[in-house]
Amino acid sequence: MGKSKVYFTDLRTRPGLDLMTKMIRLVKAAGIESVDFDGKFTAIKIHFGEPGNLAYIRPNYAAKLVDYLRSLGAKVFLTDSNTLYSGGRSNAVDHLDAAMNNGFNPISAHANVIIADGLKGTEYIEIPLDGEYCKAPKIGTAIANADIIISMNHFKGHEQAGFGGALKNLGMGSASVGGKLELHCSSQPRIDTDACTGCGMCVKYCSHEAVSMVTSGKGRKAVIDYSKCVGCGQCVAVCQHSGAVMGSSSSAEELNYKIAEYAKAVVLGKPHFHISFIMNVSPECDCWNHNDAAIVPDLGIAASFDPVALDCACADIVNAAPSISSGNRLADIIGREGPSEGCCHDDHQKDKFHRIHPDTCWQAGVEHGEKIGLGSRDYELVSICT
Looking at the DSSP bridge assignments, the partners of residue 301 are: 9, 277
Half-sphere exposure of 302 (CA within 13 A, CB side): 32
DSSP strands (E only) in 131-177? 138-140, 148-154, 156-158, 162-164
Output the pTM of the full model.
0.85
pLDDT digits (tens, 9 = 90+) for 155-182: 999 988 999 999 999 999 999 988 887 8
pLDDT higher for 17 or 344? 17
DSSP states of 264-284: HHHHTTS-EEEEEEE-S--SS
Interhelix angle 363-371/249-267, rounded to 10 degrees, is 40
Q: Is the pLDDT of residue 344 over 80?
A: no
CB 60 within 8 A of CB 147: no
Report which of 104, 108, 180, 175 is spatially closest to residue 144, judged by C-alpha positions.
Answer: 175
Q: Is the pLDDT of residue 187 over 80?
A: no
- Domain extents in the chain: 4-186+248-383, 190-245
Is residue 106 helix, strand or coil?
coil
CB 261 within 8 A of CB 228: no
Residue 251 pLDDT: 76
Which one-letter amino acid corresponds to residue 317?
I
Q: Is the pLDDT of residue 347 over 70?
A: no
Provide the CATH number for the domain formed by 190-245 in this structure.
Answer: 3.30.70.20
Q: How far is CA 314 from CA 44, 202, 279, 321, in A?
A: 20, 32, 11, 11
Rounded distance between C-alpha atoms, residue 295 and residue 280, angstroms? 8
Q: Is the pLDDT of residue 2 over 80?
A: no
Residue 341 pLDDT: 46
The C-alpha angle with vertex 260 and arms to 175 and 50, in degrees rounded to 5, equals 45
- Stretch 207-212: mean pLDDT, rounded? 89
Q: What is the CATH architecture assignment of 4-186+248-383?
A: 3-Layer(aba) Sandwich (3.40)
Phi, psi dihedrals of residue 306, rounded to the nearest 5°:
-110, 110
CB 308 within 8 A of CB 375: yes
Contacts 24+ apart (CB under 8 A), 71-75: 72/33, 72/37, 72/38, 73/37, 73/38, 73/39, 73/40, 74/37, 74/38, 74/40, 74/42, 74/148, 75/39, 75/40, 75/41, 75/42
Residue 319 pLDDT: 96
Report which of 82, 79, 221, 61 is spatially closest to residue 145, judged by C-alpha positions.
Answer: 79
Of the pLDDT bands very low, low, confident and very high (cuts 50, 70, 90), residue 17 is: very high
Phi, psi dihedrals of residue 343, rounded to the nearest 5°:
-75, 155
Q: How far is CA 260 from CA 132, 247, 300, in A?
A: 11, 20, 24
The C-alpha angle with vertex 161 and arms to 366 and 361, in degrees rounded to 5, equals 65
pLDDT digits (tens, 9 = 90+) for 66-102: 999 999 999 999 999 999 877 899 999 999 999 999 9
